[in-house]
Every structure is written in structure tokens, then in C-alpha cells.
Amino acid sequence: MIYYLMRFFILTISISLCAQDRPAKIAITAAHHEKMKIAFFIRSDNERLQEISNLIRQMLERSKASKSGFAIMLEKGAQLPAKAELKKWYQKGVPLAVLFSSHDPKALEWRLYDTSSGMMVKGKRCALALYGTRTVAEHVADELWPLLTGQPGFFSTRIAYCKLVKQGKRMVKHIYVTAPYFDIVHSDGQARLLVGHTNAFAPRWNHDKQDPMVLYCQIGACNVRLMAVSFDNRTKLVANLDGMTTCPSFSPDGKTVVYCAANGTIGSNAHIYLYSTDGDGEPFLQQITTNDGNNVSPTLCPTGDIVFCSDFEGKQPAIYCYRAASQTMERITADGYCTAPAYCAANHCISYSRLCGGINQLWMYDPVGKKHQQLTFDAGDKKESSWSPCGNYLVFAHDTGVHSRIAVHHMMSNERIYLTAKDELCSYPNWSPVYQKPIPI
């Protein structure tokens, strides 16, 4: 999509301008594809505790760590169970138990137990008074997930996307933010309108863990500028250059950014630029691509390498990697029509869209094994994929030609959920990093 838009806007703009803790290891033996059973025990006299634990249950059950997933049973009682009671659960085929309590109305305590021994694996305390029910549930789920799966939690992350809506007699684009773990059936209107003015598209996240922001493109009278919005609704202008500025991608520390820009003159091409600071703290700008093609959709890797899409070697776009150490270009896809690459630091893989029989399907490239794997096979174009921070999920836009929905693909089970409704027109999904500051929706 960015590839098409960049070629279109270069022409259009030209005309306009001329005119913390180490996870504990739990050994669980279960039959293949059998759901892991976990007991949640909640003090029955605390309604908010019940609400939080039930929300955590839904998150864990719907976010599979494997093909099997979890089956969580809720138990209530006036008193927390003793060690002998925990061992009875183990005899019933429930190897793990999470006990929720709140002796202080301002705090929640959770403890994970191995029911075979009745011994506590880990426990923590978190504040209740300062945060809403969803925020507390996401925080606890993020703490439990690594203990249960050995994988980093992702429940407090968010997905930003673009939605085409009717405003009077015209269609305009807005930016929304949603949680990644509930499909549209169970979401209960969880999407939040973040940018409500017209002509906003292609959202991207910053990498400041204390100050989450969404950067997005805004179509102006004679250029496409880069804007940013925070979650207290502060907006600011980031780049207001001639032509088109899009697709910023940040280093993990947020100090370096790559982006795509075209100056809008007739015959100009889109190029990749890198903005950072030198050893003395002075800012500098480096043009990465200098070829005769359109270079778009950059992703900055932790190593300093840049994955992007370009058509400089032929009529069809391909996926490339700029190697920072050697300052050389490596072509990733040898043939085919390939666009919209996304790099995942967790699994070191690259996802991209490839035209197969007239349909854009999702593919994945493993740089270590040098292997390409097709991920989707069904009807409808799959566009603009983006990885979850843990590397277990891919979000993308599924465009049938009539409607376009935001979908999440689970890498282990190959299952898919949809975050937006069937009759909506949504695009440009982008998954956030893990922030220390909660993101309200």
C-alpha cells in the first residue's frame, strides 16, 4: 500500500507544486494439543478482584502460547486454599493455580503455585487505586505470561490503524487504537479514536517507553507531512517538508529514526533517510538510498540494518536489506512482486506481502536459514503486516476488495482473529512496542 501511495503522491505533489525478573521454569507434562489447565482462586467478597481475574482469564485463554492454549477454571471462596487443597487440584489434572487476594483495598496480590508440591512459584503486588480494571488486568497478565509460557507478555501493547469513515458526503481517514487480544465479537467497543481530523494515515509508534506517541501522515494542500499525537491528545508537527514524508521507524532506544521521503518534484523518487546524533550529540542526517527507484517502508533493526522495499532493479518491487556495518545492499526476494516488509527483533524474521495468483499473501523470511515461507493462502489481499513485540503474532489488513479488516495471525496455531467489523474499511495496522506507561483505550 505504501509503495502504491508513494508512486501516486510523487506525481500528485509534483503537479500541485508546479501548479525485570528472570522467569521461573515450570515443567508441565500434557498430552499433545491438550489445553493446560489452570485454577484461578478469588476471594468471593471482592467484586473488583473477580472482575480483574475474569478479564485475565479471557486474555490468557484467547491468546494461545501454543496450538493447545489454556483452560482456566474460576474458584471462589472466603479463604485462600491451604497446601493440601492445592494438591487436590493437581490430582484433578490442574497443575497450576493462581491465587488472587486484596488485603489492602488499594492493592492486588497474586501468587502462582505449583499444585503438585503446593509450593509458590512467584508472587507480586500491584496498585489498584491508580489504574482502571483493564490496565491492572493487562499488567498482571503480562507478569503471568512469561511464567506460564517462557515468552514476553504483550497484553499492555496496542495496535494503531487507519479507518475510512463517512463524514457528510465524503470519506475521510481517522486513526484508531485498540487492544490486540480480543476479537471484534468480544471487544465491547474497545477501539479508541485517536486522530479524528481528515486525511490521516499510516500510523507508527515511537520508542519512548515513558511517553507513548503515534506518528502519522497527514495530507496537506501541497505535501504529506508527518505528525505525532500523544495519549493526552497533544498533537505536534514532526516534519513539514516538500513532497512526502512517511513511515518513521525507531531504534529501541528511540534516538535514531529512519523514514521515507520524496521531494515532490517531477521525476523524483522516494528515498530512505536516517536521522541520529554523532558522538558529540550533534544531529546528523544521512541519505541511505541513492538509486533511481522508489524506496519505501523502512524498518530499522536493532543492529542498525534497514529492511525496506524498492523497485530500483526492475519494474517489480522487491525486499532489500541495507547492511549498516558494510554499507551494502542485500536483495532478500529474488523474484515476484513483494512489498511492505516488517522486521521482528524477537524472532529475527521478516514478514512481507507477495503477489501470488493475483492475491497479496503474507510471507516470512528467515535470514539465518535463508528460507521463505508462505503464511496465508486464502482469498483477499493481506497488506502492511506488523509484528507483536514477542514475535508470536502478525497483525495485517485483510482487503477483500469490498471491505478491509484488521486481523491478527497467530504464528504457532495459524489461527486468525479480526479486531474490526466486517463492514469497515481499515488499513495500515502497526503494533506498538512494550511501554512502561499504560496506554488507555
Domain boundaries for CATH 3.40.50.10070 within the chain = 36-149
pLDDT of amino acid 441 = 79
Domain boundaries for CATH 2.120.10.30 within the chain = 157-431
Rounded CA separation 176/160 (Å): 6
* Distances from the Cα of 32 to the Cα of 28, 35, 36, angstroms: 12, 9, 10
Nearest to 89 by CA among 56, 113, 65: 113
pLDDT of amino acid 62 = 84
pLDDT of amino acid 229 = 95
- pLDDT in 10s for each residue of the chain, 441 residues: 555 444 434 433 333 333 334 444 444 444 445 789 999 999 767 788 889 999 999 999 888 766 678 999 998 887 888 999 999 999 999 999 999 998 887 889 999 999 999 999 999 998 887 788 889 999 999 999 999 988 889 999 999 999 998 888 888 899 999 999 877 665 555 788 888 877 899 999 999 989 999 999 999 888 999 999 999 889 999 999 889 999 999 999 999 999 999 987 766 899 999 999 887 888 999 999 999 999 999 999 999 999 999 999 988 999 999 999 999 999 999 999 999 999 999 999 999 999 999 999 999 999 999 999 999 999 999 999 999 999 999 999 999 999 999 999 999 889 999 999 999 999 999 999 999 888 887
389, 433 contact by CB (below 8 A): yes
Amino acid identity, position 313:
E
Amino acid identity, position 331:
R
Per-residue cell: 139: 499488567
CATH class for the region spanning 157-431:
mainly beta
The burial class, CB within 10 Å (0-12 / 13-18 / 19+), for 266 is exposed
Rounded CA separation 66/197 (Å): 41
Amino acid identity, position 87:
K
**Three-state SS letters, the chain:** CHHHHHHHHHHHHHHHHHCCCCCCCCCCCCCCCCCEEEEEEEECCCHHHHHHHHHHHHHHHHCCCCCCCEEEEEEEECCCCCHHHHHHHHHCCCCEEEEEECCCCCEEEEEEEECCCCEEEEEEEEECCCCCHHHHHHHHHHHHHHHHHCCCCCCCCCEEEEEEEEECCEEEEEEEEECCCCCCCCCCCCCEEEECCCCEEEEEECCCCCCCEEEEEEECCCEEEEEEEECCCCEEEEECCCEEEEEEEECCCCCCEEEEEECCCCCCCCEEEEEEECCCCCEEEEECCCCCCCEEEEEECCCCCEEEEECCCCCCCEEEEEECCCCEEEECCCCCCEEEEEEECCCCEEEEEEEECCEEEEEEEECCCCEEEECCCCCCEEEEEEECCCCCEEEEEEECCCCEEEEEEECCCCCEEECCCCCCEEEEEEECCCCCCCCCC
* Distances from the Cα of 183 to the Cα of 134, 190, 204, 275, 406, angstroms: 16, 10, 22, 37, 10
380, 400 contact by CB (below 8 A): yes
CA 293 to chain centre: 29
Fold for the domain defined by 36-149: Rossmann fold (3.40.50)
pLDDT of amino acid 315 = 84
Rounded CA separation 362/36 (Å): 30
87, 39 contact by CB (below 8 A): no
205, 435 contact by CB (below 8 A): no
Rounded CA separation 275/163 (Å): 30
